[in-house]
A and B are shown apart, each in its own frame.
Chain A
Amino acid sequence: MNVPDDLQYASTHEWLRLDGADGIVGISDHAQAELTDVVYVELPKVGAQVAAGQQVCVVESVKAASDIYSPISGTITAANEALSSNPALINTDPYGEGWIFKIKVEAGEEIEELKSPVQYRELIGGSSGSGEGV
């Protein structure tokens, strides 16, 4: 499973790419593989204030609906509208075209709570098929 080194990860399998206070969020390669074919994405509301760990949107595969949580507190500034017409982008390019939302981060120190790529690799290494999180 691909776990890029320049991202931070939540234990619920979202990734965060941070550039100053501007964050981009999606779900990990491991998460998309566990979900299988994504067929619908209910995008978060732009402008919504969210707390770290708060459920913000839903990703649906053929088999199940899965909640997506914000890895960090802030204000949602954009949602990836391309997912409305092509939800499978989450499967084909989870770290690129398959991003889900952008967030203006408020409490930067929360990033310490997230997992490093090494820690995240450890997490998914022992949990394949467990159905935990996403």
Chain B
Amino acid sequence: MSGAPILKQTPLHDEHVRLGAKMVDFGGWSMPVQYSGIIDEHHAVRSKLGIFDISHMGQFFAEGPGALAWLNSLLTNNVERLSVGECQYTFLLNDAGGVIDDLIVYRIGEQNYLLVVNAAKIDEDFAWMKSHLAPDVVFENRSDDHAGLAVQGPRSALLFDAFFQGKYSRPARNEILRLEIDGDTYYIARTGYTGEDGFEVFCPANRAVKSWNDILRKGSEFEIKPCGLGARDTLRLEMCYPLNGSDLSPETTPIEAGLSIFVDLNKPKFIGKDALAKQKQEGVKRRLVPFKMVGACPPPRSHYAVYKGDRKITETTSGSLSPTLKIGIGMAYIPTEFARINEQIEIEIRGKRFPAVIEKKPLHRAGTTSA
């Protein structure tokens, strides 16, 4: 194995191998890309139920009398809007308004917050936030102590009820429940990255295998399938949810990405605000928009050239075959003059250009394929 990178493993690694998953290097983590097949797993989530290991994602905890004001000075969305048990999607920006990470902040107590961040950004996010720390906040990276499971699909609510048998009531969309079971703390949020109804469970790392297997066992009544990162990517792309590192980067802003609703420019200040306010006032030069291929062609992928007429105008940031729409889809930052619905563009695939059309978000309306 000389020369092979040593990959980090989640607590569920052996379960994935046992289930026959194909494991790949994902940002330094050994993660399942698929079990039965990306397309099969994709359809399972759209029509029934799937479970994903998201233990690679990071969990930060912020608490104390200064936590709210401190988070509000770093994140684009307004944390003040959160009641206890609610969450919001938000961005961590650099001084130029570029995206360091996109994340979800959950208010889990009066002065307690849970932040769930991207795996590849755990160290960078934590270092950045720590370097701006306020005195009356305790801020901890507890990523290694936590596992995460995402249960997604139209049968999620049925599984929740069958699993807890009325002991707990389901959290509403974008709400989080805190459970103490046998002395362990579990967080169950009604959130996800697929567009379907679903729950994300964060639990102690040493409870991961039991939770995973309990959910799979109970979920078998609802035809649950273990799903890998491959399906996670096609599902999120149909919803036009951005993937940090592909669709978001330090060189792009949430305004350009069309995600202004997660930015509150009325807040007195947050890092990156001035740059975003300026951009909002002057108008953006490019916008992240989804596109759909027209007719049969190879699936588009990231970093393919995008043409308008004979001019290369940009590159794709994401691309795939859409298992639901059965056609190639993707996203790209298109110059504002062309970033309109129904605008015709061309995607270059191995030296040949294929027609595509700019579409409205999302490319698929979730919850419409229930079986």
Please list the residues of chain A having a beta carbon within 8 angstroms of any beta carbon in chain B: 34, 36-37, 39-40, 42, 58, 60-65, 84, 129
Closest to A128 in B: B22
Q: Kindly identify which residue among A60, A62, A129 contacts B234, using a CB–CB cutoff of 8 Å.
A: A62
Closest to B38 in A: A62
Closest to A131 in B: B24
Contacts of A64 in B (CB 8 A): 301
A36-B22, A39-B321, A129-B23 as given contacts; A60 in contact with B37, CB under 8 Å:
no
Closest to A39 in B: B321
Taken together as a complex, chains A and B put the C-alpha atoms of A40 and B298 apart, in Å, by 6
Contacts of B81 in A (CB 8 A): none
Taken together as a complex, chains A and B put the C-alpha atoms of A84 and B297 apart, in Å, by 10
Taken together as a complex, chains A and B put the C-alpha atoms of A97 and B294 apart, in Å, by 28
- A-facing mask of B260-271, CB < 8 A → 1, else 0? 000000000000
| B355 proximal to A (CB < 8 A) | no
**Total number of B residues with any Cβ neighbor in A under 8 Å:** 20
25 A-B pairs whose Cβ atoms sit less than 8 Å apart in the complex: A36-B22, A36-B33, A36-B34, A36-B38, A36-B230, A37-B37, A37-B38, A37-B39, A37-B40, A39-B299, A40-B297, A40-B298, A40-B321, A58-B350, A60-B299, A62-B230, A62-B299, A62-B323, A63-B230, A64-B301, A65-B298, A65-B301, A65-B350, A84-B296, A129-B24
Contacts of B296 in A (CB 8 A): 84
User: In the bound complex, do residue B320 and residue A62 qualify as a contact, i.e. CB atoms below 8 Å apart?
Assistant: yes
User: In the bound complex, do residue A36 and residue B350 qualify as a contact, i.e. CB atoms below 8 Å apart?
Assistant: no
Contacts of A129 in B (CB 8 A): 22-24
Contacts of A40 in B (CB 8 A): 297-299, 321
Distance of B318 from chain A, by nearest CB (Å): 13
Contacts of A84 in B (CB 8 A): 296
Residue from A36, A42, A63, A64 whose CB has the most chain B CB atoms within 10 Å: A63
User: In the bound complex, do residue A62 and residue B350 qualify as a contact, i.e. CB atoms below 8 Å apart?
Assistant: no
Distance of A89 from chain B, by nearest CB (Å): 14
Contacts of A62 in B (CB 8 A): 38-39, 230, 234, 299, 320-321, 323
Closest to A64 in B: B301
Given contacts A63-B33, A129-B22, 4 further A-B contacts (CB under 8 A): A36-B37, A40-B297, A42-B298, A129-B24
Within 8 A of A (CB), among B119-172: none
Contacts of A60 in B (CB 8 A): 298-299
Distance of B294 from chain A, by nearest CB (Å): 15
Contacts of B38 in A (CB 8 A): 36-37, 61-63
Taken together as a complex, chains A and B put the C-alpha atoms of A58 and B349 apart, in Å, by 12
Contacts of B234 in A (CB 8 A): 62
Taken together as a complex, chains A and B put the C-alpha atoms of A65 and B337 apart, in Å, by 32
Distance of A101 from chain B, by nearest CB (Å): 17
Closest to A34 in B: B22
Q: Which 4 A-B pairs have the closest CB atoms?
A: A62-B38, A39-B321, A40-B298, A37-B39
Taken together as a complex, chains A and B put the C-alpha atoms of A59 and B250 apart, in Å, by 34
